[in-house]
A and B are shown apart, each in its own frame.
Chain A
Amino acid sequence: MQLPNGLIAVVKRDCPTCLLVDPVLQEIERHGVPLTVYIQDDPSFSRASRIIDDRNLEHSFRFGIETVPTLIHIADGRETQRAVGWQREEWETVSGLKSLGAGLPDYRPGCGSKSVEPGTAERLAVRYGESKMHARRLTVPPLEDDLELCFARGWSDGLPVVPPTEARVYRMLQGTTRAADEILGLMPPNLSPCNVEKVAINAVLAGCKPEYLPVVIAAVEAALDPAFCLHGLLATTWFSGPMVIVNGPIREAIGMNWQGNVLGQGNRANATIGRALQLVVRNVGGGKPQEADQSTFGAPGKYGFCFAEDERTPWTTLSEDRGFRRDQSSVTLFSADGPVGCIDQKSRDPASLIYSLAGSLRIVNHIDLANAADAVVVIGPEHGRVFDQAGWSKARVVAALHERLQISGQDLGMGTAPGASKDATGSAKHAVSKFRPEGLTLARAGGPAGLFSAIIPGWLMKGSLGTDPVSKEIRL
């Protein structure tokens, strides 16, 4: 910015130090130094001769003023140095004048600039800053309610969304160091480019706080990984939607829930992170129910399904199993139906508990179907204690479950009316594993009371024909 040579002072009436130094500004003028005084509140308070009304704070923003009074020296149209607050020596250095402000104390601190007050700083950045937000702007018509507009434009999942104003999106983008225009991938089904800014806008819609944004971005990255097969999962007639499990220090930092009611409502981070991912799919990708989304039933989790794992158990965490360190934060994305409960209030030993869990797992998809969906089993704390007290690792439990989930070939096939012939998928001699080797994932979460675990089956199509779980590191 080309500025007039000389001095610039930025002051406000509502600052005792600014009132104190006004005579010094007049002194500077008497020495013949060109001086422009920008006033943030009441332009009439100063006796300086060249005054600019900066009540809209545009100049204060552009000069980067944080404290008033600030004195800036300009040479060759550019700033060379500045003094902040009143300190005689500094003002003499900046102005090139001697013996300024006789009778004044040597030093007085300044006050906060109006341009950095909370709320104001963002408003100014949005209005005068170099906008990094390039999404199309839509003006809310004067008689239209902004919440209703969001519904009318089809941005909502059925529940109210937070209108994505420029200030809200600007604040949301402060939650990540990643550039707003960084493209994460092409979002199915319409393959629109999805960048960090679009994720931020949908995170605002969902009700996220800025500190949740890195988790949402990681979830979107995981969803766009070809291994996750997002388009297929969206378009399927099956129940499943994406489910996000979060690991690492970020869980605590942003206040996620891994305890009571972990799969339900009430925690802002759990609720809004899952929701933001679904809104990105809906809005950026255009994936909507009864259109590209052909799900027969859907599931409540398609509003959003996200929770944190309880990492206080003797087991390795989900993310450690997938190659991360405990001090790294990550998301793992699964396909997921709703949870089905498994109760066992009697088993005191692992083998007995595994018998119960395997029984509930047997009926996933269909009691006599094998090698269809994967499943995530969320082991509640009380069930977890049975394994922990017997010293059973997660791997040992998974192996034992697979062992109990072998289905005889003669039992396989849908259609079990007496006398009805089964699909010829196997013979009596041949046993088939209900789940593929990597198809059972165990996680720990839930409230302290309740001898239950939660079985969450996924999409019927998996592996090279469908979806695989995908993990991504959360980058701030």
Chain B
Amino acid sequence: MHDIQELDSRGIPGGFVASEVFRTAARTQGDAIGFHADSLFVAHPIQDRTDAEMRALADEALEAVVALVCGKDSP
């Protein structure tokens, strides 16, 4: 989240992708640094997935990733 904040302060919009378990930590960290980066949460777990499963996760997440960096209400 620090990285997205840093890039934001340099005028570069962005967001981060994390697994579901990160949701609470992300909110807490956002409160602590005074900046809530746009975020996308994908299904947990990640570490033990096969390549095929990871690619499927990416396929599912694509539109949300585009929305993350374009703006939530964008096409």
Contacts and interface: CB of A to CB of B under 8 A. Distances in A.
By secondary structure, the A interface counts as loop
Contacts of A149: 34
Contacts of B12: none
Interface residues of B, number: 6
A142 B35 CA distance: 12
Interface residues of A, number: 7
Contacts, number: 15
Nearest to A138: B34
B50 interface: no
B9 interface: yes
Interface string B37-58: 0000000000000000000000
Interface in B11-67: 31-35
A102 B34 CA distance: 63
Contacts of A141: 31-34
A147 interface: no
Contacts of B33: 141, 143-144
A138 to B, nearest CB: 9
Contacts of A152: 9, 34-35
A140 interface: yes
Contacts of B34: 140-141, 144, 149, 152
A144 B35 CA distance: 10
B6 to A, nearest CB: 11
Most chain-A Cβ atoms within 10 A of its Cβ — which of B9, B33, B34? B34
B39 to A, nearest CB: 17
Nearest to A152: B9
Nearest to A149: B34
Contacts of B32: 141-144
A152 B35 CA distance: 10
Most chain-A Cβ atoms within 10 A of its Cβ — which of B9, B31, B32, B33? B33
A163 to B, nearest CB: 13
Nearest to A151: B9
A141 B1 CA distance: 15
Contacts of A140: 34
Contacts of B9: 152
Interface in A106-160: 140-144, 149, 152
Q: Top 7 nearest A-B pairs by Cβ distance?
A: A141-B34, A143-B32, A144-B34, A143-B33, A142-B32, A141-B32, A144-B33
Interface of B: 9, 31-35
Given A144-B32, A152-B9, A152-B35, 6 more contacts: A141-B31, A141-B32, A141-B33, A141-B34, A144-B34, A152-B34
15 contacts: A140-B34, A141-B31, A141-B32, A141-B33, A141-B34, A142-B32, A143-B32, A143-B33, A144-B32, A144-B33, A144-B34, A149-B34, A152-B9, A152-B34, A152-B35
